Structure 1
């Protein structure tokens, strides 16, 4: 057994963990202290790599293809590093997030990866893990507490890429061109990041005007309703940017109802890189999507846990908030074949 001794606060108990559950899954965290530790880990915790070395992943919901891919990446990262991986499905249940994470901690794991249903439930989970000398890597959604690393897609850059695409297509065409934005649900931090950079870039260009920004509630039906409203109020709308692919898919259906199509020059962009959006792009019914890489993030999460266990630099992009930003890319019909091939190689 490899032991890396630390002073540990033994204050976390299961009852506190269960009491920590609350609403607000996407509320901003008021958490990370940034610390002055070189690895970003809690200054009072020294981690222990147990034998056999096992990493636990408490995953949001394995019914969702995105988290299936993320889980596959975690497993692949573990296999590549020669470590065991145990996956627990939270089934979108905040109580199961807490109890499942605690169960993993009690299995003598050496590292914990959590995709939280409710970030507000994280602090007690993290305290319990640290009491057992276990580093905690938060995998997407949001953060709270004294976590050791947070991995998320570079959502702000994704919004900027979407704006860049729109400007490339219409920036030199006489305007102004009217643009609609479909947001994620209120309080979604990642949604705010995806929208803010897009809006800032488009607003800086005199040839565009954002005439509507509506909540699509992250769903196909919500995207349909939002797009229907903005198209009804703005029949000359030329662009819709949706902060996730489900909303974009709904928007495409609303476009059909309104007699609008990508083939006629309308621009429709989503965000995620989901199979449904990729299929629409191939069919010429959607312009582009900003694709995330959940599989790659899963691999990176394992690498980060191992770096923390060894006391190495976790290579944060934002050291103050212990955050690693994972790259995103814009996918269009032009680069679809290469993108599909790269994702097939992950299987």
Structure 2
């Protein structure tokens, strides 16, 4: 009888230990053992074609990688993202990833995730934080470089202009990482030629309707616009609608340079309505899942992972369109 009781006690103890798992706080036993991990992901919203492609890439990659994805759409509001991240912490997910709506205001919630032992990965957009080691890595494009490429094209295109070149800028969401850094990169690039002047700059919030509305106002206030710098394709496409409605020809009467290189933007470039296009690749899903598995396993990863981009003129866009994935 004593031997039977001892055996039963050993089995029960083993069961308790197995249920506790051996990973750090916030990490399930299965995840620590290399099995399925659970990821909480908070997306900015669905404000553009780029964002839709990015969401699809993440969801498809999670299925392919066997990652249990808990997805939340913030609808463009930081408070929604903070609530979602706190919910992920309460659910004890293995890893949290998010694309921040804006750059600042994340210290408290990131510290909460750190204290819970849940690693955080930033995708597409960076944050400013005074707290050390509150995220493992940032995967995304070099937004400053994108702005510089756009500005470099304007410098080259108008190198022989005899007088002032009037530029209007359609900015992204106020306070967001891409809006801040694309503005900075563009300004630095065109600064080499004093003839290049940004005469008006306003946010279109990365939406097509916003781009159209702002461009309509620009055309009324400034009848002599030479160039539009749109910080994403959707705002640029909205500007095309406004320019055409005003009786002018986009790409000819007013040059347009945009960033993203989604299918619609590539088509506009191939059609000559955009003059130059800078890519920002949204297909980050497979890379995110690979990095997430490494982070959960405790492997070291680079603290900054830059996704490669390229640029397109009209001929290059036309050639790339047939096989474009987004």
Number of equivalences: 298
Q: Which residue of 2 aligns with 1:239?
A: 227
Distance between the aligned counterparts of 1:187 and 1:98, measured in 2? 16
Q: Which of the pair has the greater relative contact order for Cα pairs under 8 Å at 6+ separation? A: 1
Shift of 1:101: 3.4
Shift of 1:96: 4.7
Distance between the aligned counterparts of 1:332 and 1:184, measured in 2? 22
Cα gap change, 1:95 to 1:222, in 2 (>3 Å): closer
Contact 1:48/1:134, CA 8 A, preserved across alignment: no
Q: 1:204 aligns with which of 165, 175, 192?
A: 192
Cα gap change, 1:124 to 1:342, in 2 (>3 Å): farther
Q: 1:324 aligns with which of 297, 305, 315?
A: 305
The equivalences for 1:1-347 within 5 A come to: 3=22, 49-51=31-33, 52-60=35-43, 63-64=46-47, 65-78=49-62, 82-92=65-75, 94=78, 96-117=80-101, 122-143=106-127, 144=129, 146-206=134-194, 208-218=195-205, 219-262=207-250, 264=252, 266-295=254-283, 297-316=284-303, 323-341=304-322, 343-344=324-325
Provide the secondary structure at the position in 1 that maps to 2:268.
Answer: helix
Provide the secondary structure at the position in 2 that maps to 1:204.
Answer: coil
Shift of 1:66: 3.3
Contact 2:171/2:179, CA 8 A, preserved across alignment: yes
Cα gap change, 1:182 to 1:106, in 2 (>3 Å): closer
RMSD: 3.5
Which consecutive residues of structure 1, in runs of 5 or more, have no partner in the other structure? 11-44, 317-322
Structure showing greater Rg: 2
Distance between the aligned counterparts of 1:279 and 1:315, measured in 2? 35
Shift of 1:117: 4.4
Contact 1:75/1:85, CA 8 A, preserved across alignment: no
Contact 1:227/1:254, CA 8 A, preserved across alignment: yes
